[in-house]
Chains A and B, each alone.
Chain A
Amino acid sequence: MGTLSPELAKWVVDAAYILVAFLFISGLKKMSSPVSARGGIVWAGIGMIIATLVTFLAPASEHTLPTYLATNFGLVIIAIILGGTLAWWSGRRVAMTDMPQMIALYNGMGGGAAAAIAAVELYAGKSHSLVFTTLAVIGALIGAISFSGSGIAFGKLQGLIKKSFRFRGQQVFNLLLLASVVVIGIALVSGFNATPTAVTLFFVVALILGITMTVPIGGADMPVVISLYNALTGLAVAFEGLVLQNPAMIIAGTVVGSAGTLLTQLMAKAMNRSLANVLFAGFGESSGAASGPVTGTQKPIEASDAGVMMAFGQKVIIVPGYGLAVAQAQHKVWELAQLLQSRGVTVKFAIHPVAGRMPGHMNVLLAEAGVPYDLIADLEEINAEFETADVALIIGANDVVNPVARTDKSSPIYGMPILNADKANNVIVIKRGQGQGFSGIENGLFYLDNTRMLYGDAQGAVNQLIQAVKSVG
């Protein structure tokens, strides 16, 4: 570093950040098509490596070097190795079914890092203009909420937190927390009370708010919440980037903030819920006895009969849901599909936008099993085809095929676009038992005349179907 003039170092850093911004944006663009997606993450990864390496030069661009630079240099390297190794190890070994909570976890870490940047700035009492201090404080608030909120989302999806804690006046309580954190924030910004104690109090309340905001939200709504926190982290990063005058952070953070907001809206729309509804209504888990006018009985079927029905069909559409993920049945399902294909049966997979725990979650699982993506259709593509299908095979999906959403105005899912599985000539539903689904809503599909229930967990039931189709010969 000794030979590098501050001007040259600054030029190198600035020029590198332009390249980084280019690599990030083109990377995300490539990720929006299945053909180029793999290359997209590699581009963005190269951008990240360049950004990290060149940032080691950043202190050399200042005319007065930071006081404890040597020590801090060592600390930075140790911290990167520590955090990077832990994340690499956990990211390598996590099962595909557990992807949503891992994304929540890594996202929370990003939010926490943004909050930490603000904390260093605030504790150091560095003098910024009013605007930049405000940005630092807002970024700190958002980052801290994203950090603790994502932690709760992780805990819920991982099964560490089983209950949704709700009490009377919870929203008023949250509102009071928000009000108090805003008041402390204003005190910090205005310089009225910018003491370390006030800074600590600010972060403690912000972290608690993230927790109390997230605990009442049910598991079914978690995809929307994770997506929202992802967008929020992006925004927090952008704000801290403005404070640090770092264009790479501003651009990358803002792009993620706006893309994430759009993605969150798409998801909420696919579930026929408004974002406010997801955050404040506390539905998503047994909202109560919303039993509509569902009549009739569930009619069971033996695996052998179901196997024959599919083996002699022309077209089978498979509708996977979260039950498939829980049972890790994606490989078995693909085996069944290939078996049917070899008999000349047309097999397609129909994926609802919110099947599983995240949009596209099912696609990832099927891809893991080796299902080519051109066999996988989404709601708009496939819905007209159900009428021509001999069998619709529902594996661990529930609300996304519930025809009640079309007819029953009193149902919480009324108006949600669903897969028209009930239009198929025969419907076979693989389900663990007679209970209600994740949302606690009775499913009209299970009681239709053309529906047969195959009870059992997805893995076992599909295995039986495979044997049944094989024995047809």
Chain B
Amino acid sequence: MIDGFIAIYIFMLAAFTGYEVISRVPVILHTPLMSGSNFVHGIVLVGAMYALFHANSTLEQVIGFIGVVLAAGNAVGGYVVTERMLEMFKSSGQKKRAGGHH
């Protein structure tokens, strides 16, 4: 699929992307953003699934199973807490429009 130098190019460009995307973030979003990036590395789930699909012994199946459980926890948990936090961020204007909740 991808090999050698292409993989390193992807790695390098993605590293710059991450740096640029976050460099303009206001402090108020630091915790949600850390939580959001924590969710994004939940993509490890696809790797864990791949490993478990290809498990050839009981030991590999056990480790692979634990891996998928942990990865699913990372992805789902990361999403739930990030979404809960971001749901609360509203400006005064949005609050008034929403009928002002207390």
- Chain A residues close to B by CB (< 8 Å): 14, 20, 24-25, 27-29, 31-35, 37-38, 40-42, 44-45, 48, 51-52, 55-56, 58-59, 66-69, 71-73, 75-76, 78-84, 86-88, 90-92, 94, 96, 99-100, 102-103, 105-107, 109-110, 112-114, 116-117, 119-121, 123-124, 226-227, 230, 233-234, 237-238, 240-242, 244-260, 262-263, 266-267, 338, 351, 353, 358-361, 363-364, 367-368, 370, 372-376, 378-379
Q: Is the CB of B65 within 8 A of A75?
A: yes
| A80 vs B10: C-alpha distance when bound (angstroms) | 28
Chain B residue contacts of A364, Cβ below 8 A: 31-32, 85, 88
Minimum CB–CB distance from A85 to chain B (whole Å) comes to 8
| Contact call A24/B65, Cβ cutoff below 8 A | no
A73 — nearest CB in chain B belongs to which residue? B53
How many A-B Cβ pairs are below 8 Å?
401
Chain A nearest CB from B31 CB (Å) reads 4
Contact A44 B40 (CB under 8 A): yes
Residues from chain A with Cβ under 8 Å of B23 in the complex: 262
Bound Cα distance A358, B67 (Å): 28
Contacts of A254 in B (CB 8 A): 10-11, 14-15, 18
Q: Which of B13-66 contact A (CB under 8 A)?
A: 14-19, 21-57, 59-61, 63-66
- Docked-complex contact B37 and A234, CB < 8 angstroms: yes
- Cβ of A249 and Cβ of B21 under 8 Å apart? no
Interface residues of B (CB under 8 A from A): 1-3, 7, 10-11, 14-19, 21-57, 59-61, 63-92, 94-95, 101-102
Show 30 A/B contacts (Cβ-Cβ < 8 Å), sorted by A: A25-B17, A28-B22, A31-B33, A32-B26, A42-B83, A44-B36, A44-B39, A59-B53, A79-B52, A82-B69, A83-B69, A88-B80, A106-B73, A107-B38, A112-B66, A114-B44, A116-B51, A233-B38, A237-B41, A238-B11, A242-B7, A244-B50, A245-B7, A247-B1, A250-B11, A255-B37, A338-B102, A358-B30, A363-B28, A372-B95
Majority secondary structure, A binding face: helix
Q: How far is the CA of A267 from the CA of B27 in the complex (A)?
A: 10
Q: Which 3 A-B pairs have the closest CB atoms?
A: A116-B67, A91-B80, A83-B72
Contacts of B56 on A, CB cut-off 8 Å? Answer: 66-68, 124
In the complex, the answer to whether A246 meets B70 with C-beta atoms within 8 Å is: no
Q: How far is the CA of A262 from the CA of B21 in the complex (A)?
A: 10
Given A234-B37, A234-B41, A249-B47, are A256 and B27 also a contact pair (CB < 8 Å)?
A: no
B55 to chain A, nearest CB (A): 6
Contacts of B44 in A (CB 8 A): 110, 113-114, 117, 233, 237, 240, 249, 253
By CB atoms of chain A within 10 A, which of B16, B22, B66 has the most? B22
Whether A373 pairs with B89 at a CB distance below 8 angstroms is yes
Measured between beta carbons, the chain B residues less than 8 angstroms from A51 are 43, 45-46
